[in-house]
Structure 1
Amino acid sequence: MPTLDIFLQQLVNALSLGGTYALLALGLAVVFSIMGLINFAHGELMTAAGYGLCFALIAGLPFGFAIFLGIVVAIVLVLLMERVAFRPVRGASATTLLLTSFAVSAILRVLFQNFVSARPQAVPMPARLSSMIEIGGLHIGLIQFISILVTFLVLIALSIFLRTTVMGRAMRAASEDFAIVRLMGIKANAVVATAFAISGLLAGIAGILWVAQRGSVDPLMGFLPVLKAFIAAIIGGLGSLSGAVAGGFLLGFIEVFLQAYLPESMLGYRDAFAILIVIAVLLMAPQGLLARKVTVKL
């Protein structure tokens, strides 16, 4: 395969992986920008969406409806998290919020392991998703193409929502100063619940895309992707939505191109090199690539 074709193939891989990281990082950033909370139970939302998709397909439901059901499961779960776990401690310290998110994450993992299965569960995806498509002489996996397309459509739709709707503008105002939202006559609970619902939507979509590429779901499926998304959010600047997207794509590019172009004898050190590059980026931009000042007053 010519060098240019190899590069383009790796570019597609980077866009696919980076897009998933971007969706997850954006979900984390949406909640953090309003509440100052890093929700480490975000990975369990991915897992819940994966299980929702899996069991819907096993039950024989149409594929499109199974996808919808998986995403709805993630949204409902995150709204329950917000109402039961996070709303009672909304005005608490950052440490309390962080410990609460860790506790919710641990509880959900135990529930998945005990009431579903501790082992990976194969997901009966349609065979056509494993096919290849040709674009300009480049062969791209259909799942990768769909992943890239869905990622960009979701990012565009969210941007339009935040800029053109009343609730979207309220969320943007809340990320600056919650008092402005109260002056707009919008209830704080509605703004926070909407932010969590959007994070659940993004995690659900990312979870479906992740499951479609790996073909299975397990209780720990969401841990590593969300950890990477957290790193991506830091790279972009915590509280910056555009920064979260940029950080997600940057991290995806770093991982894919290191995997492709590192000498075989050094592939075992890929993650170490990736972290070194992240540190170098943060040394040049300590607050993140697109950092912004965040004021949280609930």
Structure 2
Amino acid sequence: MHASLMDLIAWLGVDPNFVQQLINGLTLGSIYGLIAIGYTMVFGIIGMVNFAHGDVFMLSAFIALIFFLVLTTIIGIGSVALALFIVMLIAMVLTSLWGWALERLAYRPLRGSFRLAPLISAIGVSIFLSNFVQVAQGARNKPTPPMLPDVIPLFERDGYVVALSYKQLIIMLTTIVVLAIFWFVVQRTSLGRAQRACEQDRKMAALVGIDVDRTIALTFVLGAGLAAIAGTMYLLYYGVVNFADGFVPGVKAFTAAVLGGIGSLPGAVIGGLIIGLVEVLWSAYFSIAYKDVAAFCILIIVLTFMPSGLLGRPEVEKV
């Protein structure tokens, strides 16, 4: 199988470095996509960008780090896969509780205020979280022991081995599974119907018996749970986390959500994959200093011709 794949690559004349960077870009894009789903869920219902979402992601990565070290060094769990699964569940629970508290204390009291009030509150929560983690954990990078270092060799050409690591495979499969689960929740469950009703008209949804406050709170809880999954995958992939790691991935994920069409779950993941691929391929073939510029240029180009994003719906003015 590997020989036939190598022959096909050789016949097509594909650069094996390009194939490897493609795998790396899809992995990074999957992490962005997981974070972007949280952005797009909250924006789709209340029309507000939760700028604290990136720092919730960073907080979840620290939670995953702490509990991974506890499980592997203190409790003595030898299976990295089992430890990661338990860590992800713990991070989801704790981060979801924070998401609920965030909505209840910082956003709900300002829901009827002027439009900039929740945005300012979100920025304030972001700064608070970043500084709280800096004080609690310090400003240095926090590494983890090596996790899942094994790789699956795909093919070799001219001495260059293209490989897919187990951690990359886990991250991409996790993104696919999570997208499928949340798409099912939004499209096929009573919570999803309530979310779509609140997205269209919150006042009318309340008139037909939907608990709008509960629906919005659950959306924040789900978004925080998604951030916890992304934080665990980020820790698995990079093996290190810093208190400042919430800002840049958060901005990239927000860009991915806008690129894919904010409000669309598949669009958020597609946007994340595009941003990840552009970053990695630009870094591999051009100057790494301009990878962020390249990613935002793609956003500008797409929005110039498709203002609603790749899968977004045009805004309809309610009268």
TM-score in terms of structure 1 length:
0.90
Alignment partners' CA distance in 1, 2:28 and 2:317: 31
153-162 vs 212-221, which moves further: 212-221
Q: Give the counterpart letter for 1:273 in structure 2.
A: A
Confirm or deny: 8 A CA contact 1:15 1:148 kept in the other structure.
yes
Matched residues, percent identical?
Answer: 35
Shift of 1:296: 11
Pairing partner for 1:113 from 103, 112, 134: 134
Confirm or deny: 8 A CA contact 1:236 1:244 kept in the other structure.
yes
Q: Secondary structure of the equivalent of 2:164?
A: strand
Residue deviations 1:209-265 (CA, integer Å, cap 9, x gap): 111111122211121111001111221233333332222122112112222333xxx
Q: Secondary structure of the equivalent of 2:245?
A: coil
Match of 1:226 in 2: 250
85-94 vs 252-261, which moves further: 252-261
Alignment partners' CA distance in 2, 1:165 and 1:45: 26
- Gapped runs of 5+ residues in structure 1? none
The question of 1:283 aligning with 2:304 is answered yes
Q: Secondary structure of the equivalent of 1:59?
A: helix
Confirm or deny: 8 A CA contact 1:47 1:222 kept in the other structure.
yes
Alignment partners' CA distance in 2, 1:40 and 1:102: 6
| 1:64-83 pair list within 5 angstroms | 64-83=85-104
Confirm or deny: 8 A CA contact 2:41 2:219 kept in the other structure.
yes
Q: Give the counterpart letter for 1:290 in structure 2.
A: L
| 1:104-183 pair list within 5 angstroms | 104-124=125-145, 126=147, 129-135=148-154, 138-183=162-207
Alignment partners' CA distance in 2, 1:205 and 1:168: 20
Q: Give the counterpart letter for 1:131 in structure 2.
A: D
Residue deviations 1:126-175 (CA, integer Å, cap 9, x gap): 4xx11112457752011111000000000011111111110111112211
Shift of 1:295: 7.7
Task: Describe the shift of the 1:107–1:85 C-alpha distance in structure 2 as closer, same or farther (beyond 3 A).
Answer: same
Alignment partners' CA distance in 1, 2:298 and 2:70: 45
Pairing partner for 1:241 from 265, 283, 286: 265
Alignment partners' CA distance in 2, 1:50 and 1:273: 27
Confirm or deny: 8 A CA contact 2:63 2:91 kept in the other structure.
yes
Q: Give the counterpart letter for 1:32 in structure 2.
A: F
Alignment partners' CA distance in 2, 1:164 and 1:136: 41
Q: Give the counterpart letter for 1:147 in structure 2.
A: I
274-283 vs 33-42, which moves further: 274-283
Alignment partners' CA distance in 2, 1:118 and 1:295: 46
Match of 2:17 in 1: 6
Q: Give the counterpart letter for 1:130 in structure 2.
A: P
Pairing partner for 2:48 from 37, 44, 61: 37
Q: Give the counterpart letter for 2:232 in structure 1.
A: I
Alignment partners' CA distance in 2, 1:120 and 1:7: 30
The question of 1:255 aligning with 2:276 is answered no
- Gapped runs of 5+ residues in structure 2? 1-5, 78-82, 157-161
269-278 vs 78-87, which moves further: 269-278
Task: Describe the shift of the 1:279–1:53 C-alpha distance in structure 2 as closer, same or farther (beyond 3 A).
Answer: same
Confirm or deny: 8 A CA contact 2:33 2:271 kept in the other structure.
yes
268-277 vs 67-76, which moves further: 268-277
TM-align CA RMSD: 2.2
Confirm or deny: 8 A CA contact 2:55 2:250 kept in the other structure.
no
Match of 1:28 in 2: 39
Alignment partners' CA distance in 1, 2:200 and 2:316: 5
The number of equivalent residue pairs is 292
Confirm or deny: 8 A CA contact 2:179 2:266 kept in the other structure.
no
Q: Secondary structure of the equivalent of 2:307?
A: coil
The question of 1:53 aligning with 2:64 is answered yes
| 1:87-98 pair list within 5 angstroms | 87-98=108-119
Confirm or deny: 8 A CA contact 1:14 1:253 kept in the other structure.
yes
Residue deviations 1:42-85 (CA, integer Å, cap 9, x gap): 11211221121121122235413222212222211111101111
Residue deviations 1:170-220 (CA, integer Å, cap 9, x gap): 112211112343244221111101110111011111111111111122211
Q: Give the counterpart letter for 1:272 in structure 2.
A: V
